[in-house]
């Protein structure tokens, strides 16, 4: 099974940087995903990490340390439209099922 | 490319009534998932189909929930009878294969049971 923890809420100012941490415990790891979910909308894929290190994609970057069971999503140059919930999900090695954290609600203020 | 389509977007019913949700996955995606997302929580997998066969339904409350994907494309999820604790957003997702990297989600059906 999976146990995934991420902060409930974070607030930041437009133009700033925010780092959302995710820690997990798993019996078999096969990748970590970050999804963005605006209120009332579908979760949309942001990033995928299966090896240790940093993956950069525009203003968003995701980091993984498998030995520490730790990942973070870094949002740079924050914009108002980045206000959303960010979901950390871990995929199981045996059945490829995704287990989601409860999500981190990020509020960007002017 | 069209995304995952779901309907209805919203549904309000009274407890003990029945309700059905519909999902049309992305064309060519063999794997289809139904998730339940309770307010303030992450999505929880209810059932997974590979084509028209069930891969995993271990978290589906089978005394009241049922799902089918008869022709390996569209899927329906039914709740009968509904309970108050079934109030949630029901998300459908699809992926090209079981071990594919990315699941694509629909906007979901928000169910309120009164």
Which A residues, 43 through 82, put their C-beta within 8 Å of a C-beta on chain B?
43-45, 48
Phi, psi of B105, deg, nearest 5: -105, 150
Q: How far apart are the first and last CA of chain A?
A: 40
Instruction: Give the residue on B whose Cα is nearest the Cα of A4.
Output: B42
How crowded is residue A48: how many other Cβ atoms within 10 Å of its Cβ?
17
* Separation in Å, CA of A99 to nearest CA in chain B: 7
Q: What pLDDT is recorded for position B100?
A: 63
Q: Is the pLDDT of residue A1 over 70?
A: no
CA–CA separation, A32 and A22 (whole Å): 10
> A18-26 and B31-37: which strand pairing?
unpaired
Q: What pLDDT is recorded for position B107?
A: 94
CA–CA separation, A97 and A101 (whole Å): 13
* Separation in Å, CA of A100 to nearest CA in chain B: 5
CA–CA separation, A77 and A79 (whole Å): 6
Instruction: Give the residue on A whose Cα is nearest the Cα of B10.
Output: A40
Phi/psi region, residue A100 (left: phi>0; alpha: psi -120 to 50; beta: rest), is: beta
Query: CB distance A31–B101 less than 8 Å?
Result: yes
CA–CA separation, A29 and A110 (whole Å): 39
Q: pLDDT (tens digit, 9 = 90+) per residue, B39-83?
A: 999 999 999 999 989 999 999 999 999 999 988 899 999 999 999
Q: Is the pLDDT of residue B98 over 80?
A: no
Chain B residues touching A95 at Cβ < 8 A: 56
Q: What is the mean pLDDT of residues B9-31?
A: 96
How crowded is residue B41: how many other Cβ atoms within 10 Å of its Cβ?
13
Query: CB distance B56–A31 less than 8 Å?
Result: no
Q: pLDDT (tens digit, 9 = 90+) per residue, A3-38?
A: 899 999 999 999 999 999 999 998 899 999 999 999
Query: CB distance B110–A41 less than 8 Å?
Result: no
Chain A residues touching B104 at Cβ < 8 A: 45
């Amino acid at each position: 099974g999976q146990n995934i923890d991420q902060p409930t809420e974070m607030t930041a100012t437009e133009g700033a940087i925010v780092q959302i941490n995710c820690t997990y415990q798993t019996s078999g790891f096969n990748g970590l995903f970050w999804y963005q979910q605006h209120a009332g909308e579908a979760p949309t894929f942001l990033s995928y990490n299966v090896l240790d290190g940093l993956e950069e994609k525009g203003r968003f970057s995701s980091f993984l340390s498998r030995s520490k069971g730790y990942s973070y999503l870094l949002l740079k140059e924050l914009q108002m439209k980045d206000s959303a919930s960010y979901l950390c999900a871990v995929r199981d090695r045996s059945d490829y099922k995704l287990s989601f954290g409860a999500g981190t609600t990020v509020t960007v203020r002017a | 490319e069209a995304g995952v389509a779901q309907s209805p977007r919203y549904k309000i019913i009274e407890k003990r009534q029945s309700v059905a949700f519909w999902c049309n996955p992305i064309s060519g995606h063999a794997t289809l998932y139904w998730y339940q997302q309770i307010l303030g929580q992450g999505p929880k997998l209810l059932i997974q189909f590979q084509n028209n066969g069930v891969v995993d339904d271990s978290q589906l409350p089978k005394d009241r929930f049922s799902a089918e994907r008869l022709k390996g494309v569209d899927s329906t999820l039914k709740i009968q009878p509904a309970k108050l604790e079934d109030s949630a957003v029901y998300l459908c997702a699809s992926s090209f294969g079981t071990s594919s990297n990315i699941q694509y989600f629909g906007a979901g059906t928000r169910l309120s049971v009164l």
